[in-house]
Every structure is written in C-alpha cells, then in structure tokens.
Amino acid sequence: MDNNNLEQITFGGGCFWCVESCFNMLKGVQSAVSGYSGGHKDHPTYQEVCTGETGHAEVVQITYDPAIISYEQLMDVFFFLHDPTQLNRQGNDIGTQYRSVIYYKDNPEKAKAEEAIKTSQASGRWTGTYVTEVTQFDKFWPAEQYHQGYYNENPTQPYCSAVVGPKIQKFKKHFGELGMLNAE
C-alpha cells in the first residue's frame, strides 16, 4: 500500500462489531477502526452513546488505498453489510446510534456517496426506500480499545455467535468469490 495516497471514509451501518471486522479483511484497507461520529459530545463513551442521548452513531473509519480498492467498492461492501432501509436500527439493535449514515468530507465525496446510494438502491439488493443519511463529517472519536477487533477476540460471545458470525460468513463467501479479501 502507498501510505502517501491513503484516504479515509467514515460510515455507520448498525453495530460496529459487524462492520469493522469485515472491512479489515479487504485488500486495500489499511485499517478499520470502530468509533463514534455525528454527536454533540466530545469524547463520548460507549455507555453514553448507547443511551442515544449524545447523537452519535456507531461508525467505522476506514483508511484505504484507492489504487487497490475504490470508494465505489467500499460502498458496495457497506450496503452489503447492513440494511439501509431500516430507520435507526439494524435487526434487534434499535436506536439512532445504529442509523445508516455516510459522512463526507467535501462536495465531490458527497456526490459520490449520493451516487452510491442510487446505485445500490437500483440494484434491488434491498427492497424499500433507503434511509441512509449523507452528513458532513465533523469528528471521529475512536471507541474504547476493547471494541477494536471485538469479534476476533470474542467469537463465542452470544451476540457475536448469533449475529456477527453469520454476517461475516456471508460476507466472506461473497467477497472471497470476488477476490477482494486478504489471504488468511
């Protein structure tokens, strides 16, 4: 990877444990870090974000090499990993902290995010109207250390084995067949 040309994208697609572990498997992704964006409190804690009162979403900030993986490919993965038609929830995870959101840094990136939503919606992968927010990026607060790589460290934890694990297996099958995953 060319560290001089790395870019970042931040988005939320439900519980960050599901999203972060998958993005870290992709070729061209240097890191995927779980955290919080979109709220009104500096340095929020997981407990505070879980109340829904800070306004933050659980997000993943991805650092990637666009010469290896494109913004559009990352968006395809993003829309594969969560249901963008569910408002403020993903499955049994309910609250604004689980909203579908793409944070953009400038107008060209905003246009790319809006185009990615149109492309995904036209694909028919999900039925219903997309509710994914496209919001100006402000700040990213990394989540507590124990959230980083959570699934890899806790695969038998009940939520991980029931929700995260099956999602990862579906992801690995689909994107592995496309040759987009790092060798294990």
Measured distance CA(159)–CA(144) in Å, rounded: 18
Catalytic residue among 15, 18, 22, 160: 15
Whether 23 and 62 have beta carbons less than 8 Å apart is answered as: yes
Decide if 15 is catalytic: yes
Measured distance CA(103)–CA(3) in Å, rounded: 22
Measured distance CA(155)–CA(151) in Å, rounded: 5
Whether 100 and 84 have beta carbons less than 8 Å apart is answered as: yes
Active site amino acids: 15
